[in-house]
Structure formats: structure tokens, C-alpha cells
Amino acid sequence: MAPQNLKSIRLSDNDLDFLVETVSPEITDKYRLKRIIREDEDFRSTFISDEKIFNRVMDDEEILLKISPTLLFEIFLRKAVNDLKKSSYTLEKTRTMRIPVFDTEDVIALLTQESLLVYLADMLSSFTKIKSYTISFRERKGIWRKIRFNDMDIYSLMSFCEVVKDEYRLFLYKRIADICLFILGLFPEYVERDYRYPTSGEVRPKISGKVRISSEAYEKEGRKFYKLAAEHQIAKEQNLSEVFRALHESFQKVKKPLNFISEHYLHHQRHKLFG
């Protein structure tokens, strides 16, 4: 589900211990400092952006045994904001080249929307553990149907959207769009390699039982399902529509800090983090 509070991510006691021990190990009143971090959003943002925290995270291969995935990705996102401020352009990759695009200010402006940064941290953390489901439902009187899927399979999720009641569709819309953003953000080279031959650029042939999806198709579906999520009544009631609408309208720009994190911070740790 989408985070219920998009103003801040709930920090666990372990998260707070990690932050305080890393930045202010000498402080005597640790309880008071933890309370300030929890209650003061501006202070929390500055505290988590401390370079000592990022350096410790990067040096620890077992970091997820010590802090929550949501905190880990909040650290990466805040670091990306600070690093992107040092550049006047972002890079857009084609199959054969990298093209500088002077949109850094727009990308940073998106991530300075706290609700969007919180959403992205929560979204990325949801991919550290993929779940599989088997659901039985009544298609009509006397006829039951069973659907098996995992929450990384966008086509199974799309099929499921067609048969469930509207009240359950928001989660499915959100997950489909999140998958598209996650894959294009963290594993963009996988999409291109799976869809085209690297040397010739020709589209690989279709294989029975395997779906090949282009980068353009991932982006199209991502934007489409964020729009559907933004228009859903439950999203409006939970004040989530604005974030979903921003993701729909700025999908291309929101993808860029995730590309930056993937390339500059995660390196070969992506498969370890996301299985």
C-alpha cells in the first residue's frame, strides 16, 4: 500500500540509534536527540543528510541488518539531492550515447517535495522483498477462479485489475506504476539488454512464455497507471492524488535521481539489495 503519512517515514528505534551513534556518539542525552529527530522534520532532514551517515552506509555491506530499507533509501535520496546540486545537467542515455539535459533544477525541485521523497523511499524499500500470491475469487455464481502472481509481474497485475472490485484497484495501479519506475530507475540497462541485441540494436525475437518490454513501453505504462491511481477515489480521500499526479506528469524527471543512485551509490550492490 501507499504510505499513509507522506510527510515523514516512521523511524524505528534501531534507525534512531544508528543515526545518533553515527553523527553524535558523544552526546549524553540521546533520548532527547532522538525525540527531536522524530518530531522536527527540518532537523531530521538535515541530520540524515550528514555526510558521516552516508559514508557509514556505503562502508557497511550488512547495512540492512542495522537499519530499515526505508531509511537506507531516504539517505540515498537526500544524498542524491545534494550531489545533483553540484551539476547543471543530468544525463539521458540512448543506446549509443549520453546526452546532457539542463534540467537539474527541475529534478531537485521534485525531490524537495517532502511527500514525493518519502513516497520514493517507501517505494524502493518495497522491492527489497518480492511477494507471491495465490488468490481465489468468485467470477460468477458457482464459478471460482484462481490467479497466481508475484508483485513484480506487471501483466499479471494488469489482468488482476480487470476482475477485482474497484476498491482494491488502487494498490494494483500503484504497484504496476511503481514497477515501471523502479526498473527504469534502478535497472535501465537490463531493460535495453533484454529488449535489443547490444551490438546491432535490433529487437530480440519473441519467445514463447517470455514478454519483452521496451523502455518506452515501461514509461508509457508507468505514467498511465500513476494517472489511474491519482484519479482513484481512495487516493483522493487519503490525499495521495497529488503525489501520483506528480509521478504521472514528471515520470521522466523522477526516474533520473534513481538512475543517479543506481550508478553512483549502489554499483554492484543492486542485486544484493533487491534480489
pLDDT in tens, 137-153: 666 777 777 766 677 88
Three-state DSSP class for residue 90: strand
Residue 103 has what pLDDT?
A: 94
Q: What percent of the chain has pLDDT over 90?
A: 63
Q: What nine digits make up the cell of 78?
A: 537526500
Which of the residue ranges 60-69, 79-88, 120-129, 209-218 would you say has the lowest mean pLDDT? 209-218
Give the pLDDT score at 208.
66
Mean pLDDT, the chain, integer: 89
**Residue 160 pLDDT > 80:** yes
Terminus-to-terminus CA distance in the chain, angstroms?
A: 21
What's residue 92's pLDDT?
85
Q: What angle do CA 256, 227, 172 make, to 5 degrees?
A: 95
- pLDDT greater at residue 95 or residue 271: 271
What are residue 72's DSSP bridge partners? none
CA torsion, ordered 182, 74, 42, 112, to nearest 10 deg = -30
- The pLDDT value recorded for residue 69 is 95
* Confidence category of residue 123, pLDDT binned at 50, 70, 90: very high
pLDDT at 67 exceeding the cut of 80: yes
* C-alpha span between 16 and 5 (Å, rounded): 19
DSSP state of 267: G
Exposed (0-12), middle (13-18) or buried (19+): which is 128, by Cβ within 10 Å? middle
Q: Which amino acid is at 35?
A: R
Residue 150 is predicted with a pLDDT of 75
The answer on pLDDT for 4 being more than 60 is no
The pLDDT of residue 136 is above 80: no
Least confident of 57-61, 116-120, 153-157, 233-237: 153-157
Percent of all residues in the chain with a pLDDT value above 70, rounded to a whole number = 92
The per-residue pLDDT for 147 is: 67
Q: Which pLDDT score, from 0 to 100, does residue 137 have?
A: 63
Query: What secondary structure does DSSP assign to 216-264, as a single string?
Result: HHHHHHHHHHHHHHHHSHHHHHTT-HHHHHHHHHTHHHHHHHHHHHIII
The C-alpha cell at 47 is 541530520
> What does the pLDDT read at residue 124?
96
Query: With bands split at pLDDT 50, 70 and 90, how would you rate the model's confidence at 275?
Result: low
Residues 121 and 74 sit within 8 Å (Cβ to Cβ): yes
**Does the pLDDT value for residue 2 go beyond 80?**
no
Position with higher pLDDT, 272 vs 33: 33
**Contact predicate 270/186, CB 8 Å:** yes
DSSP annotation string for 21-89: HHH-TT-S-HHHHHHHHHH-HHHHHHHHT-HHHHHHHHH-TTGGGTS-HHHHHHHHHHHHHHHHTT-S-
Model's pTM, two decimal places? 0.89
Q: How many CB atoms lie within 10 A of CB 264?
A: 12
Q: What is the pLDDT of residue 7?
A: 62
Q: What is the pLDDT of residue 16?
A: 97
**Amino acid type, 226:** Y
Residue 36 has a pLDDT of 96
